[in-house]
């Protein structure tokens, strides 16, 4: 990516997908450690994929309400650059994880309406980055990767004291408009570039990156 927009492709499960995102020169590769997700990786597979990542491609571990022991197990096996917390972790828990593991922490915050915006301010004070995502529907098995968007006008013009990333229902057809409406400089996509859950499509990845850059 040569534009000022940084792209994260999340939910990588295959070596060919790592090659695809590396060729697209995205900024972040996301690996999911959550058993209910169709993109969940075991340790050996995650390690192999992370080792396939070229220098400069930041490796992000997505976890959901993980214990210190679970986080330590991931970091003992997999060379990770950033932790993404996608559960109900409190601001205090985010700060604890940052202090305990010494890695940058990205906190995902689900947004459905204006009442959800206050949480972004709280987490921005303790996280290294925010992931502003669509709130999952009631009863959803997974907290992200559901292909849902939220009303981007809710965060138009809003800024926080840390970098932030826009997620939720993005694809090549809408990412440019999402960037225009929100002013996002970073975007995250998973299901929007897939042929099937956990199977990235090289043409869709390339099209998404082109649209984001444009």
Asked if 30 and 62 touch (Cβ cutoff 8 Å), the reply is yes
For 160, the token pair is: 């926080």
Tell me the CA distances in angstroms from 116 to 64, 122, 150, one per residue in order: 19, 11, 11
Give dist(CA 165, CA 83) in Å, integer: 14
Contacts of 89 (CB under 8 A, 6+ apart): 65, 97, 107
Tokens 């080792």, located at residue: 51
- R_g of the chain, CA atoms, integer Å: 16
Q: Is 133 a catalytic residue?
A: yes
For 176, the token pair is: 């440019």
Q: One of 10, 52, 53, 171 is an active-site residue; which one?
A: 10
Q: One of 17, 52, 133, 171 is an active-site residue; which one?
A: 133
Q: Is 113 a catalytic residue?
A: no
Give dist(CA 182, CA 165) in Å, integer: 10
Q: Which has the closest alpha carbon to 17: 214, 198, 175, 208? A: 198
Give me the active site residues, please.
10, 133
């Amino acid at each position: 990516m040569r534009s000022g927009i940084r792209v994260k492709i999340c939910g990588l499960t295959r070596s060919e997908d790592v090659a695809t995102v590396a060729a697209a020169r995205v900024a972040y590769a996301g690996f999911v450690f959550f058993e209910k997700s169709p993109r969940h990786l075991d340790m050996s597979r995650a390690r192999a994929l992370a080792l396939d990542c070229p220098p400069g491609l930041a490796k992000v571990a997505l976890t959901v309400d993980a214990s210190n022991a679970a986080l330590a197990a991931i970091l003992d096996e997999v060379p990770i650059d950033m932790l993404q917390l996608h559960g109900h972790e409190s601001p205090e828990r985010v700060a604890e994880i940052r202090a305990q593991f010494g890695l940058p922490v990205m906190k995902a915050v689900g947004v459905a309406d204006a009442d959800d915006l206050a949480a972004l301010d709280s987490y921005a004070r303790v996280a290294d980055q925010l992931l502003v995502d669509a709130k999952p529907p009631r009863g959803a098995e997974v907290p992200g990767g559901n292909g849902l968007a939220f009303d981007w006008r809710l965060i138009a013009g809003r800024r926080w004291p840390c970098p932030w990333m826009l997620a939720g229902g993005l694809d090549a057809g809408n990412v440019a408009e999402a960037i225009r409406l929100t002013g996002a400089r970073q975007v995250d996509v998973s299901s929007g570039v897939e042929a099937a859950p956990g199977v990235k499509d090289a043409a869709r990845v390339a099209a998404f990156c082109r649209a984001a850059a444009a």
